Amino acid sequence: MRKQRTKRPPSSHGRQPGGHRYRFGGLWIVLWLAAPPVLAVPEDASQPIHIRADEAEIDQNAERVIYRGGVLVEQGTLRVSADEMTVEYRDQKVIRITARGTPAKYQQQLEAGEDDVKADATTIVYHTQDEKLDLRGEAFLRQEGNEITGDFIQYDIVAGKVDARAGDQAPVRMVLQPATRPEE
């Protein structure tokens, strides 16, 4: 059998106090080994990835895993929550993660001592090889107190570049914090 569907059982089996954690066997290992070292707190990349969802569908032929219902991914300072998440991989390496929700949310501390980067949108696509985030539908991004909203935002994590586009409903909006002056 190449396609598996796993639902969280109605009993408390697989749950831990205060949560609904359910492990999906070897998939944890695949995601943990294949996760790229995102520009983040160095310890994040060495942390295990914890995934919680009401349901998981594993399709080995399509090299895809779909999680549904209250999806939460945690790895060190990284947190992604969504209603549905699709993980696509090739040769045991994750190539794209797509999170959909009302909204889907992303949060991660990129450097020690700095505030977390926060983003939300109807759809968040993380391109692992390019280290880019695409935020689609009511997109919002906050970093170091600066904020940007629009219908589409692309965030290049490596280059620190943000491109935003307006939709039919609203323009791109930005809130930029003034630069801090060095103390004399």
10-residue averages of pLDDT along the chain (184 residues): 48 36 35 42 73 94 95 89 95 90 92 86 91 93 92 89 88 89 70
pLDDT score, position 183 = 72
According to DSSP, residue 33 is labeled H
Domains identified in the chain and CATH numbers: 3-134 (2.60.450.10)
Strands 64-75, 55-59: parallel, antiparallel or unpaired by DSSP? antiparallel
Q: How many residues does the chain have?
A: 184
pTM for this model (two decimals): 0.73
Residues 6+ apart with CB under 8 A from 126: 96, 97, 98, 99, 106, 132, 133
Residue written as token pair 């998939």: 27
| Beta-carbon count within 10 A of 161 CB | 10
For residue 16, CA distances in Å to 10, 47, 74, 82 come to: 14, 19, 15, 21
